[in-house]
Amino acid sequence: MAEAAVALPVADSKGPGLIARLIGVIFSPRATYQAVVARPRALGALVITVGIMAVTEGVFFTTPVMQEVLMDMQVKTIESFGVNISDQMYDQMEKGIARAAYTTPLSLVIGIPIVAAICAGIIMAIWGMLMGGTGSFRQVYAILAHSGVIFALSVLFAMPLSYAIHRMAGANLGVFMPMLEETSFLARFLGAIDLFFVWWCVNVAIGVGVLFKRKTFGIAGTFVGLYVAVALVLAIIRSGN
219-223, Cβ contacts within 8 angstroms, sequence gap of 24 or more: 219/127
Print the domain residue range for 202.
Answer: 18-239
The residues, any chain, with a CB within 8 Å of residue 133's CB and separated by 6 or more, are: 127, 211, 212, 213, 214
Domain-embedded: residue 165: yes
Check whether 173 has a pLDDT greater than 90: no
Distance CA 46, CA 193 (A): 24
Domain-embedded: residue 10: no
pLDDT above 70 as % of the chain: 93
Domain-embedded: residue 6: no
* Residue 111 identity (one-letter amino acid): G
Domain-embedded: residue 127: yes
Total structural domains within the chain: 1
Domain-embedded: residue 47: yes
Distance CA 83, CA 94 (A): 17
Domain-embedded: residue 56: yes
Check whether 178 has a pLDDT greater than 50: yes
Check whether 12 has a pLDDT greater than 80: no
Contact 141, 42 (CB under 8 A): yes
Domain-embedded: residue 8: no
Query: In angstroms, what CA-CA distances link 47 with 52, 94, 109, 221?
Result: 8, 30, 9, 29
User: So what's the pLDDT on residue 78?
Assistant: 85
Domain-embedded: residue 9: no
pLDDT in tens, 144-160: 999 999 999 999 999 99
> Mean per-residue pLDDT for 70-87?
84
